[in-house]
Structure 1
Amino acid sequence: MPERPDTTVPGGAQQADAGLPLLRAAVARLAPVLPMLGELGERFAAAGHELALVGGPVRDAFLGRVSPDLDLTTDARPDEVLAVVVGWADAHWDIGREFGTVGLRKGAHVIEITTYRADTYDRTSRKPEVMFGDSLEGDLVRRDFTVNAMAIRLPSLEFVDVHGGLSDLVTRRLMTPAAPEESFADDPLRMMRAARFASQLGFDVAPEVRAAMVERAGTLSIISAERVRDEFTKLLLSPTPRLGLTLLVDTGLADVFLPELPALRLELDEHHRHKDVYEHSLIVLEQAIDLEGPAGGPAESVPGPDLVLRLAALLHDIGKPATRRFEDGGGVSFHHHELVGAKLTSKRMKAMRFDKDTTKQVARLVELHLRFHGYGEGQWTDSAVRRYVTDAGPLLTRLHRLTRSDCTTRNVRKAQRLSRAYDDLEARIDRLAAEEELAAVRPELNGNEIAEALGIRPGPVLGQAYDYLLSVRLDDGPIGKDAAREKLLAWWAAREPSA
């Protein structure tokens, strides 16, 4: 390894010297993989090709983080890359070969090597025509942001930063290598990445980047729902999603793929008869994140980052704009907004191509998020508590956190009262669960026993009888098989013959 890494940066030697301590620290963080990368760089050099570590791994090294990815770029074409790595790599694949990418594994490390790119785009469809480039500098200018357009040549460890990425990294600024309007015209998804990186890295976007996002927000519509969903998901799972969400709303990007979010910015009436629903939703999201358990913790702790909980927290009130009513007495109501919101949530998540299970879980949490507010000072019967648990099912631990997060009042006494009430509810749930195996509530007679008692065969009527005994179990708790059978026979005798 060279004693002093060379630098190629804007501004000449003075800037290079100023960035040298940061560069040395970054190289030190990459030390565990540099011998392997240096060996690979020497193989490429011996074959007459260039090779450089680029993008995320370089950025993360400067940020003091270890990147799970090792992305390399080269002037070698895919066939030439394969010729160099075959026999050195433990395994290789060329699933991205048409885009110039060859993947390989060396020990525990997965490496992607991509030929320099000089793409051109059909700006009406976002379908790139892949064209290979011949220089590292030409490849870097087509990258999304300057902080991702830094490279380290291998094996020389020359630092290449022709677009001022290190300076932007230090000032925590997102800027594009090319003019923002041109960069976003080439690939509108980069606007989503700007919001995602703002949340992941805690960076501000440059004013000219923000202006270009506003100007070109509508072009996001040509990007597939799946790609937009993936960027949005990464943003939502970041440490500070509020930063990116605010950027999406303020620039108009959210109007394209998630219009229900900016719609929460309900105009406050002159008497301020209701809180800002948009700001409330962001606070609920932040409070839900604070209640997530540690990564890798037990399932009941809801280990974070948890996509289902975060989506439910963000979307729990999206039914309010459609249900807002100004009452005669001066108040504002949002009757049944949880039911309307659940339907809107399901519709929007399907449009964004979320999977069925995630969509179903989030919509169910939105539907249930107000259920607790009927609890009052503990007036619920044990039957109501059982139904609460049964209706939540496996979502109960998330519902606990969503319900607690939904309290954003500045009234300290009210907040403490709600917290005590939910403490009481959870204690009652724990008590009943210990007494009755509440998480697996079933009728005290199974399907075969019901059929035998009534002398019927499997079918819709058996299903009705099963549902009846389940309601008995929820209302009365465990009463024993004999008492359950008596109630079943009484229900059967009183049943309308046509039912």
Structure 2
Amino acid sequence: MDTVAAAVERLDRLAATPRVHALATAFEKAGHELALVGGPVRDAFLGRAVNDYDFTTSATPDEILAIVTPLASATWDVGRDFGTIAARVDGETVEITTYRSDVYDGETRKPEVAFGDTLEGDLIRRDFTVNAMALRLPQRVLVDPSGGVEDLLAATLKTPGAAEDSFRDDPLRMMRAARFTSQLGFTVADDVRQAMTDRAQTLSIVSIERVNDELSKLLKTDDPVPGVRLLVETGIAALVLPELPATMLERDEHHHHKDVYEHSLTVLSQAIGYEKERHPGEAPDLTLRLAALLHDIGKPTTRRLEPGGVVTFHHHDVVGAKLAKKRLKALRYDNDTIASVYRLIELHLRFFGYTEGGWTDSAVRRYVRDAGPELERLHMLTRADVTTRNRRKADRLGFAYDDLEQRIAELREQEELDSLRPDLNGDQIQQILGLKPSREVGEAYRFLLELRTDEGPLGEEEATRRLLEWWSARS
């Protein structure tokens, strides 16, 4: 069965589902048009599962509410001013939007919202031709005014009208093009790429929250690398994530080093591979992916050309962690994500000391303690950071990390490694030293924690003896 015939069959099955049939019948009885639009229609041609039910209609928001309320277990406004009503029908969330024919002034993202009167007019204003198709209901007629089917078959991303005009209407569509490049495996048309390059700076008028959302969606695709490349090549990344294109370091005939930009993309891909291997079927780990992409952004600042053709990047881990924190704050990521990414980048080189000489149990404890809840992500990031083509070196690093993980597992069994605490708590310290809550109690606690990290569990009696010894020497 060819692709079009298979898609028609899938669309027929979709239209026949109870929720879609009930909505189509209700809108027809009320004298209004209804069509399944955008993603669900596109995904039917691609053979992908339908996760979102998006409809467009000739009905106004008030009329939509009146029609769907008898069918829905719940309804709510997700953008009444923009014509969108959401409802829970037959256990699934659906969104129904009045035909739109907005007018933009080209200077801001805020359009003058206007409702349209035809399905074709609504489709022409959409972002890409592959999203500008609809299935008119209940007739089950495919409406494709801009050749979306042909572009789907060619795996090409085009805009319904001139790309310049489309990106003037909504500059965020340029980032969406990068996301669809990764999500769908499509190639952008030449005029789309050129318009993205020419209009990259106009993305500055889009709210940071929307940019954040689109960047996150890109990174959560199965293979974000093609989309990330497109952002860099068109100059959009220079505005959104400037630290990344900055890793494209210049070389000269005397000094050689690994291509930091290409290395970063490889690490991102490999980290996703470890993530899927360890947590199959789970939601994408945005924190790990951000850390992998940004882990070496401290290198341009710390790059030093040494005699003999050696290039060094001393302390790029610490510098990179600070740069990532600053950038993610500017992109309005939440504090937990920022703190986790900071810690992962700060620690991503720590393991390489393990390969230079066997770590003591104390060093292993410190590694676990410093990583805290990010330990598993640190495992994946550190393994992904090995991109050498030297098979012997790669095997040596892999075996070393296997050994480290084994030692962590053994110590975890022996010592409650995940909840590393001193042998005495704060109350006991105060009682033994005759102190009230104070700075000195905190110092004593940290002293005992260092002992616990260095030497393992001591027991109450030995910890008390060592505490008194430390207190006497300190006094």
Same fold (TM over 0.5): yes
In the aligned structure 2, how far is the partner of 1:386 from the partner of 1:466? 17
- The verdict on how the C-alpha distance between 1:154 and 1:427 changes in structure 2, with shifts beyond 3 A counting, is same
Matched, 1:168 2:157: no
TM-score by length of 2: 0.97
Q: Which residue of 446, 451, 461 corresponds with 1:467? A: 446
How far, CA to CA, are the matches of 1:129 and 1:413 in structure 2? 62
Q: 2:426 aligns with which of 444, 447, 450?
A: 447
Matched, 1:27 2:11: yes
Q: Structure 1: which 5+ runs fail to align?
A: 1-17
Deviation at 1:38, TM superposition (A): 2.8
The reply on whether 1:390 has 2:374 as its aligned counterpart is: no
Specify the alignment match of 1:324 in structure 2. Answer: 303
* 2:410 paired with 1:431: yes
Candidates 183, 193, 217, aligned match of 1:234: 217
Q: Trace 1:196-235 onto structure 2 (pairs within 5 A).
A: 196-235=179-218
Distance in structure 1 (CA, Å) of the matches to 2:328 and 2:110: 25
In the alignment, structure 2 segments of 5+ residues that lack a partner are none
Q: Specify which structure has the higher proportion of helix.
A: 2
SS in 1 for 2:470: helix
**RMSD, aligned α-carbons:** 1.6
- The secondary structure found in structure 2 opposite 1:94 is strand
Mapping for residues 39-438 of structure 1, pairs under 5 Å: 39-271=22-254, 273-293=256-276, 303-438=282-417
Please list the CA deviations of residues 341-380 of structure 1 after superposition, one character each: whole Å capped at 9, or x if unmatched: 0000000000000000000000100000000111125421
The 1:19/1:321 distance shift into structure 2, 3 A limit, reads closer
Q: CA separation of 1:112/1:328 partners in 2, compared to 1, >3 Å: closer, same or farther?
A: same
Quote how far apart the aligned CAs of 1:212 are: 0.4
Contact 1:117 1:139 in 2 (8 A): yes
Q: Is the 8 A contact 2:255 2:309 kept in 1?
A: no
Alpha-carbon displacement from aligned partner over 1:153-180 (angstroms, at most 9, x marks no partner): 0100010011110111111110000110
Instruction: Name the aligned partner's letter for residue 433 of structure 1.
Output: R
Residue 46 of structure 1 and its aligned partner are, at CA, apart by 2.4
TM-superposed CA distance for 1:130, in Å, is 0.7
Query: Could you tell me how far apart the structure 1 residues matched to 2:289 and 2:3 are?
Result: 39
Q: What SS does the aligned partner of 1:127 have? A: coil
Given that residues 3 and 45 in structure 2 are in contact (C-alpha distance below 8 angstroms), is that contact kept between their aligned partners in structure 1?
Answer: no
Quickly say closer, same or farther: Cα 1:319–1:91, change in 2 above 3 A. Answer: same
Alpha-carbon distance in structure 1 between the residues aligned to 2:119 and 2:3: 21
Q: How many residues align?
A: 474
CA distance in 1, matches of 2:440, 2:453: 20
CA displacement 1:427-481 (0-9 Å, x = unmatched): 1111111111111110001111111111101121100000000000011111211
441-450 or 262-271: bigger deviation:
262-271
Seen in structure 2, the aligned counterparts of structure 1 residues 317 and 459 have a Cα distance that, compared at 3 Å, is same
C-alpha separation between the residues in 2 aligned to 1:376 and 1:46?
73
Amino acid at match of 2:231: L
**Residues 437 and 19 (structure 1 numbering): CA distance in 2 closer, same or farther, change over 3 Å?**
closer
1:232 is paired with a residue of what secondary structure?
Answer: helix
Q: TM-score, normalised by structure 1?
A: 0.92
> Which residue of 433, 438, 455 corresponds with 1:476?
455
Percent of paired sites with the same residue = 61
Whether the aligned pair in 2 keeps the contact of 1:39 and 1:155 (CA below 8 Å) is no
